[in-house]
């Protein structure tokens, strides 16, 4: 057999057509797994040595050559051959160039089916750690921005209509909580994916006396898989990563949408730094929040990867099928997309100037203290539904006359209910509204400060 022949060449009378090679190759993108493939191969070589399948000297030659191949990979000197289909065959081919037929012993007791699963699991373990670091960085940025602007008021919204006054810090910390759940989802998904499939071979396992638990430990896996058929055909760990990443991107997209709104002339709540914006080729005055818009759009790529993987898996009989090759390209793209969006989102909010006066003016308009007016009436003994109707009639009357709650007199209020007294006016200010809130989850200044301190403690534990 020629060194360039495929490992299954003995079975076939004809060589694979170039068009088939081009259609079936994956090395153009799965090359990213190369360091993990070498790592898995080194652990397997040690397992073969312990089992007495290769000698100590053979193991030394294989391991030394694999380390040299890793250096070639890291330094960009490795020559990729597209006709060898994937990263695994390229590395095996290079090993054979270096040590001859001894390279063929490395594939003892394993298949590309269990090897590709092991490589991808190792990659996703590292990628998940990197994504979690990105989440932590954004959470730190959010906490600092909230802390630096703890006294800034803004209108809270429902239905994109001004609803009640809240602290800007409280609004920001809502995104901290979303990201905390994302961090937990990724942690949980990674835990279930932290099993080693090596030893499952093509699907039935191996008859050779290799210590697979030792190989799993050497690679840093928490355990081995429990069923060889499931091990080579399982991509739940990919689906779970996509699912967690897709929810994370939804949160980043919602955040990006608010950045777009807040930085518009209509809102004017924040001013983005020039270096984070782009301009127009025809309109000299434009300053566009393109970064936020792209984060919003890229969410579809990650959500699409989740759907694509689910559709790929839904009709596959056990065990391995070549359809599973379609997992990796989307995995790499999803990881890159999430990491870049986390970085850009952090930069956007970290560099934004908060226009506190504009925010507070908006918070003080559109009768946002009307709920507090209702609360006042309830505390005076009026049933809530009746109090709500009274407050609604007051708002309706003021709207017709072009007045606000700040301008209303006690006499005018008493036309709607005799229970109104001078103390009502402390209920009609937005700052008073915020201070009266209760509950550790509320927008009360003291509670928001507590939430920031709690967040800092949580982040410190991740160090």
Catalytic residue ranges: 159, 280
85 contacts 27 by C-beta, under 8 angstroms: yes
At residue 320, the 3 state secondary structure works out as coil
322, burial (CB in 10 Å: exposed 0-12, middle 13-18, buried 19+) = exposed
E strand segments, 111-241: 153-158, 161-167, 195-196, 223-224
CA distance 140 to 183: 13
At residue 370, the 3 state secondary structure works out as helix
The whole-angstrom distance between residue 303's C-alpha and the CA centroid of its chain comes to 11
Structure tokens that stand for 160 in this block: 């994109």
Nearest to 201 by CA among 67, 71, 111: 111
Structure tokens that stand for 52 in this block: 């007495």
CA distance 106 to 12: 23
Per-residue CA distances from 210 to 103, 128, 198, 220 (Å): 18, 30, 10, 17
202 contacts 7 by C-beta, under 8 angstroms: no
Structure tokens that stand for 132 in this block: 């979690």
CA distance 66 to 61: 9
CA distance 410 to 225: 74
Half-sphere exposure of 287 (CA within 13 A, CB side): 12
CA distance 284 to 400: 41
Core vs surface per residue 161-178: b (16+ CB within 10 A) or e: ebebbbbbbbbbbbbbeb
């Amino acid at each position: 057999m020629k060194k360039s022949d495929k490992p299954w060449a003995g079975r076939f009378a004809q060589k694979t057509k170039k068009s088939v090679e081009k259609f079936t190759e994956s090395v153009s993108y799965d090359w990213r797994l190369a360091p993990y493939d070498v790592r898995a191969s080194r652990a397997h070589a040690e397992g073969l040595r312990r089992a007495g399948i290769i000698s100590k000297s053979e193991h030394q030659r294989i391991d030394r050559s694999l380390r040299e191949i890793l250096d070639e990979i890291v330094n960009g000197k490795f020559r990729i051959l597209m006709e060898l289909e994937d990263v695994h065959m390229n590395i095996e081919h290079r090993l054979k160039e270096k040590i001859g037929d001894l390279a063929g012993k490395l594939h003892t007791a394993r298949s590309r089916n269990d090897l590709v699963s092991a490589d991808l699991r190792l990659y996703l373990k590292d990628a998940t750690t990197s994504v979690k670091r990105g989440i932590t960085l954004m959470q730190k940025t959010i906490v600092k921005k909230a802390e630096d602007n703890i006294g800034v008021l803004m209108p809270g919204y429902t239905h994109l209509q001004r609803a009640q006054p809240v602290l800007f810090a409280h609004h920001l910390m809502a995104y901290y909580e979303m990201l905390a759940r994302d961090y937990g989802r990724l942690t949980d998904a990674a835990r279930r994916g932290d099993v080693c499939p090596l030893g499952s071979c093509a699907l039935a396992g191996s008859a050779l006396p290799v210590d697979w638990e030792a190989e799993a430990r050497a690679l840093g896996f928490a355990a081995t898989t429990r069923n060889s058929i499931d091990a080579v055909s399982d991509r739940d760990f990919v689906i779970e990563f996509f699912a967690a990443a897709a929810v994370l991107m939804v949160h980043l997209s919602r955040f990006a949408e608010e950045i777009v709104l807040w930085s518009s002339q209509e809102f004017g709540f924040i001013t983005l730094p020039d270096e984070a914006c782009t301009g127009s080729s025809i309109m000299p005055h434009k300053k566009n929040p393109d970064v936020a818009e792209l984060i919003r759009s890229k969410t579809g790529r990650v959500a699409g990867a989740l759907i694509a993987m689910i559709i790929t898996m839904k009709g596959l009989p056990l065990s391995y099928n070549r359809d599973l090759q379609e997992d990796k390209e989307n995995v790499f793209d999803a990881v890159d997309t999430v990491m870049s969006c986390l970085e850009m989102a952090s930069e956007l909010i970290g560099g934004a100037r908060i226009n506190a006066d504009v925010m507070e003016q908006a918070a003080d308009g559109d009768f946002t203290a009307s709920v507090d007016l209702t609360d006042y009436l309830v505390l005076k003994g009026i049933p809530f539904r009746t109090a709500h109707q009274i407050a609604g009639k007051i708002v309706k009357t003021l709207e017709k006359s072009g007045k606000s709650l700040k301008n209303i007199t006690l006499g005018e209020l008493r036309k709607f209910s005799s229970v109104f007294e001078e103390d009502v006016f402390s209920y009609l200010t937005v700052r008073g509204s915020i201070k009266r809130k209760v509950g550790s989850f509320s927008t009360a200044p003291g509670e928001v400060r507590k939430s920031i301190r709690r967040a800092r403690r949580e982040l410190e534990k991740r160090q």
